Structure 1
Amino acid sequence: MYCDFFGFTEKPFTITPNPHFIYLSGNHREAFAHLLYGIDSHAGFIAMTGEVGTGKTTVLRTLLSQLDPEKYKSALIFNPCLSGEQLLASICRDFGIEAAEKNSFAYLEALNRYLLEQNAAGRTLVLVVDEAQNLAPEVLEQVRLISNLETERDKLIQIILAGQPELDDVFNRHDLRQLNQRITVRCRLSPMGLDDTKEYISHRVKISGSRIPRLFSPGAVKQIYRFSGGIPRLINVACEQALLLAWTRESLTVTPDIAARVIAEAGAVAPRRGLWERITGLFFSGK
């Protein structure tokens, strides 16, 4: 649609997590370093929290994509609505482990055997549980029991629990104090500042192939930053709509006026037809 107009090879501001577009702000680099340190030092439990849209899933997927497959085996669990047994089944499935029977004991026994085999081969296993704030306490207790699988010298599996800030409240539950005490590495993703927001937008535009200088004007970037509060997902939403409006106006620059227009619509309280509905209505009506 607007990709040819701006010279994009792909849309730069989709909200789906895509490691190809990863931009690490100072805070993101710090969180990334904590995750790598936790894995390399065999910390056992690592926790990462952050508000909705700050890029937790993107950071996690990028982390897993950069681990050497000769040294690491990883599994990503992103469905938090699981029972303890379903969690074990999902972990075994992601690691390609076959259990003799379909019950918690058999899954745990097969997982332990696999962990010992991989440890003997010099490999580290990494388990990532995303949206962990939604896990029931009894399921988190099952996760703690998995961490008990260890040798005399080392933890056999490194577990990253990632979620929204409410995850800290879950950890502070009295009945989960044993789990909380085992988390030795913690990090938090914060929204980006104005400078990082500017670099983030420029980075995604460049990765998408456009060579138009200052596609987003400084004034537009400032408005998008104020609207988004530096949260990547909201930046993407505003930039996507701004590019769409700029395309309809045949403007090769997202001006402050264009940014203000889409932000005003995004923040409107009363239900209104969105920009996209009006544009499609215009085209398909033949006007």
Structure 2
Amino acid sequence: MYESFFDLNSRPFDLLPNPDYLYMSDTHGKALSYLKYGIQGRIGFILLTGEVGAGKTTLIRQLIKSHLERVTLAKVFNTRVDSRQLLAMINDDFGLETEGRGKIELVRDLNEFLIDEYARGNQAVLIIDEAQNLSLELLEEVRMLSNLETDGGKLLQIILVGQPELRKTLGSPALLQLRQRIQVACHLTPLKKNELREYVLSRLERAGNRDALRFEKGVFEEVYQNTHGIPRLVNILCDYILMDACANGKRETTRQDVVEIVEDLDFEQQYWCGDSSAAPQQCSKSYPSVRKAATNRNRQAERVLRNIKDMESRINVLEKELEKGGQASVLDMMDRLERLENSLMALGGRVDHALSMSGDIGLGRPVQAPPSAGPVRGEARLRPSKRRSWISRFLLGDG
């Protein structure tokens, strides 16, 4: 990879939730303080939410790594399970035997374990990640676990971690009792625009070289425009920026470099609006389909104009060859121009399609497939004759 080229010890923008790379933005620092406060205060339920890729799991791993005094932690990261499986995973992470035990035995074993921990002066904490996948029934069963208590207080603290949909689920009337027991709730927001630069540089520094790459003016603005400060998306884009710079033997990157990388990756489609059901809420506001269609249309039009200018220069060369009477050169140039004409016609068809697509999107009409760049197989056999290109007609007459 590019580590040796940039004198790095590791990949600074790896997607693994590594707490060593956690950047304490305002929102992350506040959330970590709330979590520690809730645990130290023996609060029954704590809620942590955030968009996909906002850094929830990394924050939780930082919490685990912080070695809270006399705290026994259990972590559940797979939540697409039934009630018996959920209990088994909780008990297993607390170190209890689960094989061959039914739901009743699992609850009894957990209760006895929590009482023993409480007697030793330890505090049991359960962290459930991806909690937005839990059904109403499972969330109610989780609430029932918080009923395990003594006269001195709760035997189990529960931290629910999930995407924003979790808050909507908790708003259900069926979960009123659970909702009322949540005393600490925090939400991770994306990085602010003025935090993005330091986020990127801090990760490079922790990987061994803060000055690995020089970022020219406008680079961070372009990164923010395409990622909206979502840490995971920033990591993905910056990883590609480093790969691109390494491949080109450069130690600096420009805004135009980022624009080209985003275009090559089809970043908007891949990470934002490609799947509207999974895209963050700001997708529909900041990346409307009409804007995308217009952008694509402009790019296609620019390519067509470049091809037209190229064709004009080639025609000038062809005219000079005609004056010299070089027949072989003329035939070769005619063949090349005909291929260029076909390419131009195909690009023109795609531009027409982009124009119609932007109009259809704006009016809510279904988008039709783009015109074919070539004839349907077998079509040539149905035609009595093939019309010569305009280049041939121009040079050899209309015969």
TM more than 0.5: yes
Highest Rg: 1 or 2? Answer: 2
Tell me if structure 2 keeps the 8 A contact 1:101–1:107.
no
Structure-2 residue corresponding to 1:55: 55
Deviation at 1:213, TM superposition (A): 6.2
Map of 1:280 onto structure 2: none
Q: Which runs of 5+ in 2 are unaligned?
A: 271-399
Q: In 1, are the aligned partners of 2:212 and 2:251 still within 8 Å (CA)? A: no
1:86 alignment counterpart? 85
Structure 1 position 269, deviation (Å): 7.1
The residue number in structure 1 matching 2:228 is 229
What is the rounded CA distance, in whole Å, between the counterparts of 1:38 and 1:167 in structure 2?
19
The aligned residue for residue 44 of structure 2 is 44
In structure 1, the partner of 2:102 is 103
Rate the CA distance shift 1:201–1:270 in 2: closer, same or farther, 3 A: closer
- Name the CA distance, whole Å, in 2 between partners of 1:100 and 1:255: 58
- Distance (Å, rounded) in 2 between the aligned partners of 1:161 and 1:16: 21
Q: Within 5 A, what are the aligned runs for 1:69-80?
A: 71-80=70-79
For the residues of structure 1 that align with 2:194 and 2:4, how far apart are their CA atoms? 28
Alignment of 1:119-138 (within 5 A): 119-138=118-137
Give the Cα–Cα distance (whole angstroms) in 2 for the partners of residues 34 and 27 of structure 1.
11
Given that 2:72 and 2:124 are in contact with CA atoms closer than 8 Å, whether structure 1 keeps it comes out as yes
* In 2, Cα distance between equivalents of 1:152 and 1:13: 48
Structure 1 residues 270 and 67: CA distance shift in structure 2, 3 A: closer
Is the deviation greater in 240-249 or in 253-262?
Answer: 253-262
Partner of 2:208: 209
Corresponding residue of 1:32: 32
Extract unaligned runs of 5+ from structure 1.
272-287
| Shift in Å, 1:24 | 1.1
- Deviation string 1:137-172 (CA, Å, 9 cap, x unpaired) is 111111111100111121111100011111011101
Higher relative contact order (CA 8 A, sep 6+): 1
Partner SS state of residue 128, structure 1: strand
Aligned to 1:12: 12
| Paired position in structure 2 for 1:284 | none
3-state SS of 2:252 partner: coil
Instruction: State the 1:102 CA deviation.
Output: 1.0
CA distance in structure 2 between the partners assigned to 1:270 and 1:234 by the alignment: 13
The alpha-carbon distance between structure 1 residues 269 and 109, as it changes in their structure 2 partners (threshold 3 A), is closer
SS state of the match for residue 154, structure 2? coil
SS in 2 for 1:250: coil
Moved more, 229-238 or 172-181: 172-181
CA distance in 2 between counterparts of 1:102 and 1:269 reads: 48
Deviations 1:79-114 (A, max 9, x none): 111111111100000010125951111111111111
Task: Tell me the distance in 2 between the aligned counterparts of 1:24 and 1:186.
Answer: 18
Deviation at 1:265, TM superposition (A): 2.5
Displacement of 1:117 after TM fit? 0.8
Q: Using a 3 Å threshold, how does the CA distance of structure 1 residues 45 and 223 change in structure 2: closer, same or farther?
A: same
Q: Percent identity?
A: 39
In the TM superposition, what whole-angstrom CA distance separates every residue of 1:40-87 from its partner, at most 9, and x where no partner exists?
10111000111111001100111111133x511111101111111111
- How many matched pairs? 270
Cα distance between partner residues in 1 of 2:269 and 2:173? 44
**Residue range with higher mean Cα deviation, 75-84 or 98-107:** 98-107
**Residues 270 and 226 (structure 1), Cα distance of their counterparts in 2 relative to 1, 3 Å cut:** closer
- In the aligned structure 2, how far is the partner of 1:56 from the partner of 1:213? 28
Gap change, CA 1:268 and 1:199, over 3 Å in 2: closer
User: What amino acid is aligned across from residue 230 of structure 1 in structure 2?
Assistant: G
1:133-172 matches, cutoff 5 A? 133-172=132-171
1:34 deviates by 0.9
Report the Cα distance in structure 1 between the residues aligned to 2:216 and 2:144, rounded to whole angstroms.
Answer: 53
Conserved 8 A contact 2:8-2:208:
yes
One-letter amino acid of the counterpart of residue 161, structure 1: L
SS of alignment partner, residue 17 of structure 1: coil
Are the counterparts in 1 of residues 190 and 230 from structure 2 also a CA contact under 8 Å?
Answer: yes
1:204 partner amino acid: R
How large is the Cα RMSD of the aligned pairs? 1.7
